[in-house]
Amino acid sequence: MWTTVLLVFAVWAVSDGNPLSGYQNDPVFPEEVQRIIGGSAASLGNFPWQARLDGPLLCGGTLVHAQYVVTAAHCFFYQGTDYTNPGYWTIRLGEIYPNSHESTEQAIPASSVTVHSGYNQWATPDYDIAVIRLRHAATINNYVSPLSLPNYDAPDGTSCVVSGFGDTTGNGNLASRLMYVYVPVMNRNTCNYYMNGAITSRMFCAGFSNGGKDSCQGDSGGPLACQLSGTWTLSGVVSWGNGCALAGNPGIYTRVTQFRSWLSQHTGYAI
């Protein structure tokens, strides 16, 4: 048996660039906030594709088109309650501080939520993907811009970056700003060994065998971005794991290459 930890927090929310250049020069923060787990604090414009789902559950997402955000299916279900009604959700873009309003921030209500029909909240977290249509298109600028979808899977060992506003310690301490961490794509056979064969063809793993760096609760639905052929792509969606940043327990991500046609079908765009 294996224990699934879906990386989502149930909280009633109160409304209140790419990462290549300059991330080494981020301001220094106390050690206790220097992780997503094991990561660093982002600056405005580092991750212009990052979305935050403001609603009954804490999740992230990725802008893939001016009017569409990709996230995890499990972000819309908690203890048997269905939160797929778009009226629950406002999507926040262009922010790094979840508890304040930046001048770069765009808050756009959801107009529809589409969860993959293969997802079953009572079973294993397979087909863990959903797409949100925004009520109106986001304004694309240096702080808000879409992330491309991949044409192929990131090779084993590729260093990819995962970002989010979730737990920074594994003990329920939510980040006060957007965090990110680099983790390598793990060999599928190695990961399936660690996870007792639970990794389907619609999942892949990223992380270190000895742990220490990972996404965690509240980062669900957010992006794992990998640079492929010189372009940053949404290679993975934060999905699940056994605990956070534990040795022999890598993060598990939805494999976006397996859902390109589904996303095109449900957005109406060849994204």
Given the residues 54, 126, 128, 167, the one annotated as active site: 128
Structure tokens at 44: 């405005």
Whether residue 167 lies in the annotated active site: no
74 is catalytic: yes
The pair of three-digit structure tokens given for residue 245, joined into one six-digit string: 């940043």
Q: Which of 40, 145, 215, 220 is catalytic?
A: 220
CA proximity to 206, closest of 169, 173, 254: 254
Q: Taken in order 255, 124, 215, 262, is the CA torsion positive or negative?
A: positive
Instruction: Extract the tokens encoding 24.
Output: 């080494």
Distance between CA atoms of 183 and 267, rounded to whole angstroms? 30
Distance (Å, whole) CA 95 – CA 106: 8
Give the active site residue among 65, 74, 116, 266: 74
Q: Is 209 a catalytic residue?
A: no
Residue 196 has which token pair? 């007792």
Single out the residue of 105, 99, 89, 103 nearest to residue 16, CA to CA.
99
DSSP codes of every residue in 118-132: T--TTS-STT--EEE
Q: Which residues are catalytic?
A: 74, 128, 220
